[in-house]
Amino acid sequence: MYKDQQLYVAHSAEGPINIIGKMANRHGLIAGATGTGKTVTLQVLAETFSQAGVPCFMADMKGDLSGISQTGGLSKFIEKRCAEWGMDTASLKFEGCPVRFYDVFGQQGHPMRTTIERMGAVLLARLMDLNDTQTGVLTLTFRIAKDENLPLIDMKDLRLMLDYVAKNAKKYETTYGNVSSASVGAIQRALLALAEQGGETFFGEPSFDIFDLLQTEGGRGVMNILAADKLMLQPKLYSTFLMWLLTEIYDKMPEIGDMELPKMIFFFDEAHMLFKDTSKALTDKIEQIVRLIRSKGIGIYFISQSPSDLPEAILGQCGNRVQHALRAFTPKDQAAVKSAAQTFRPNPAFDTEREILELGTGEALVSFLDEKGAPSMVQRAKILFPLSQIGAITAEQRSAINSASRISGKYETVIDRESAFEQIVKQREAMEKEAAEAKAKEAEEKEAARKEKEKATSKSSRSSSKKKSLFATVLGTAVTYFAKTVATQLARNLTKKKR
Ligand SMILES: Nc1ncnc2c1ncn2[C@@H]1O[C@H](COP(=O)(O)OP(=O)(O)OP(=O)(O)O)[C@@H](O)[C@H]1O
Ligand SMILES: [Mg+2]
């Protein structure tokens, strides 16, 4: 709870524990085994930021974070904690936070879309599990599209663009490099699989404007909640989507100096998914963004079962830590507990490693950065209870929030403007028309030539038949004359004989 300008989120035997506003953008980690209280801790932190006017973004894995939108209430658990901390229950102001729901699949909230272009070849290649050669082909396809002014917006743009590049591979070879048809085929197949995962709805326009995440309502930060129950079944899509979002935020937000409070807090649940099967290059890129995004006033809080789920370089940047209980059934678990304990600045009052195993639900080892940015000594503490509702809301409550949202209608309808697909189709149609016209012209010319030839042939044959008939007439006359002469001669001879 935000109290006396303090981000009060936990309570130890010595009293309240606050996150220092100025240090909240130095990132954080919430770790712990299943059911130890990670989601409620996230909710407590997020609503505290909201009360202070800081918007947050979070992925809701099980739907249980949606309760942050509703007014919470007293419970035996809360009464007990208040009594323990000397807090008057009558002074508690239970209330929900302003919330906006998002859903990549557009079902439980506003759709969150981006274009193929903005996702970029590197993230897309990861999403589709492409190898280095295929990634190279995808990268040059993006470059050709850019050079030829063919916008890649949705999946049909990319599909046709790949086909276009493959069919003109010879033309591009010298300037861009080799495009093997086998690689293009593999990318096309991967695209098909991506479409089945929901890619068709995710890629398109209007693409999401990250500034919609940076809103306040009535002085309170808006909680932007991404429905991730379905999305997390496709870990690659989930993690790549969040990576894209981070990159967008990083690219678009201006640099800011030191501030009393962060601009926005980003909660990254199931954080291990982000780094699973990720190339070294991409891990380095995430690490770099995490490091640099701080200067833009953005804090990232990773939520995972064990700190060892995160790469060392990222873990080292998480200044604010909440470690819930871990279990140690196997030697591997024990090693994870040991390394989790070692990430804290020790407290001489207890053994950190043993303490991690003994924490109850909603209890944690806590260490936040102090005013100077140094990690405070680890403390055993109880996390505050949320003033909003714990647990999921109903479908009716969700749809009421969706329709009342200020951005309702902004992203709901897909716009399919002219892009690479339409332009290539147009180009092909024009080429086909040209080819058909050339063919028709050729046929016409052939026909004309044939007719000409025919005409010439018939003329010559007519003149020869004319010659023939003249000859026949002459011959006929000659024959008739000859016959007549012979007959006359014969008649004369006969008459002579008779006499
Ligand atoms: N700070 C708290 N205040 C009040 N109740 C709490 C608190 N922390 C945990 N609880 C109770 O414990 C339950 C389990 O906590 P939570 O859902 O946060 O665990 P989790 O670590 O997120 O579990 P999972 O790994 O299964 O997601 C909550 O539903 C709530 O009833
Ligand atoms: Mg949880």
Identify the bridge partners of residue 303 per DSSP, sorted by sequence position.
30
Together in a domain, 141 and 99 = no
Distance of CA 365 from the midpoint of ligand 2 (Å): 17
Contact between 106 and 201 (Cβ < 8 Å): yes
pLDDT of residue 294: 93
Work out the mean pLDDT of the chain and round it to a whole number: 90
Distance separating the N- and C-terminal Cα atoms of the chain: 164
Q: E strand or H helix at 186, and its extent?
A: helix 181-194
For residues 442 and 449, give the distance between their C-alpha atoms in angstroms, rounded to a whole number.
10
Identify the bridge partners of residue 3 per DSSP, sorted by sequence position.
6
For residues 396 and 219, give the distance between their C-alpha atoms in angstroms, rounded to a whole number.
26
Q: Give the pairing type, strands 264-268 and 15-19.
A: unpaired
For residue 490, tell me if it sits in a domain. Answer: no
Mutation test of ligand 1: which of 40, 75, 269, 304 has the most ligand atoms closer than 8 Å to its C-beta?
A: 40
pLDDT of residue 286: 86
Q: What is the mean pLDDT of residues 107-132?
A: 92
Residues with CB under 6 A from ligand 1: 32, 34-40, 44, 77, 361-362, 383, 385, 390
Together in a domain, 197 and 299 = no
pLDDT of residue 464: 64
Distance of CA 389 from the midpoint of ligand 2 (Å): 15
Together in a domain, 126 and 72 = no
Together in a domain, 108 and 173 = no
For residue 473, tell me if it sits in a domain. Answer: no
Q: Which residues contact residue 421 at a Cβ distance below 8 angstroms, ignoring those fewer than 6 apart? A: 154, 156, 157, 159, 160, 161
Together in a domain, 251 and 370 = yes
30 vs 239, higher pLDDT:
30
pLDDT of residue 480: 62
Q: How many domains does the chain have?
A: 2
Domain span at 125 = 116-202
Single residue among 134, 168, 202 that ends a domain in this structure: 202
Contact between 163 and 141 (Cβ < 8 Å): no
C-alpha angle 293-298-301 in degrees, rounded to nearest 5: 100
Contact between 165 and 179 (Cβ < 8 Å): yes
Q: Whose CA is nearest to atom 16 of ligand 1?
A: 37
Distance of CA 37 from the midpoint of ligand 2 (Å): 7
Q: What is the mean pLDDT of residues 87-114?
A: 94
pLDDT of residue 337: 94
For residues 53 and 297, give the distance between their C-alpha atoms in angstroms, rounded to a whole number.
14
pLDDT of residue 472: 58
**pLDDT-based confidence at residue 322 (cuts at 50, 70, 90):** very high
Residue 212 has pLDDT above 70, yes or no: yes
Q: What is the mean pLDDT of residues 364-380?
A: 96
Identify the bridge partners of residue 322 per DSSP, sorted by sequence position.
30, 366
Distance of CA 272 from the midpoint of ligand 1 (Å): 20
pLDDT, tens digit, 9 for 90 and up, residues 37-79: 999 999 999 999 999 999 999 999 889 999 999 999 999 999 9
Single residue among 348, 383, 404 that ends a domain in this structure: 404
Identify the bridge partners of residue 216 per DSSP, sorted by sequence position.
221
Single residue among 404, 434, 452 that ends a domain in this structure: 404
Nearest to 366 by CA among 37, 84, 29, 1: 29
Q: Above pLDDT 90, what percent of the chain? A: 74
Nearest to 347 by CA among 376, 315, 324: 376
Task: Identify the CATH number of the domain in which residue 61 sits.
Answer: 3.40.50.300
Measured from the Cα of 324, ligand 1's closest atom is 21
Measured from the Cα of 64, ligand 1's closest atom is 17
Q: Above pLDDT 70, what percent of the chain? A: 93
Residue 474 has pLDDT above 90, yes or no: no
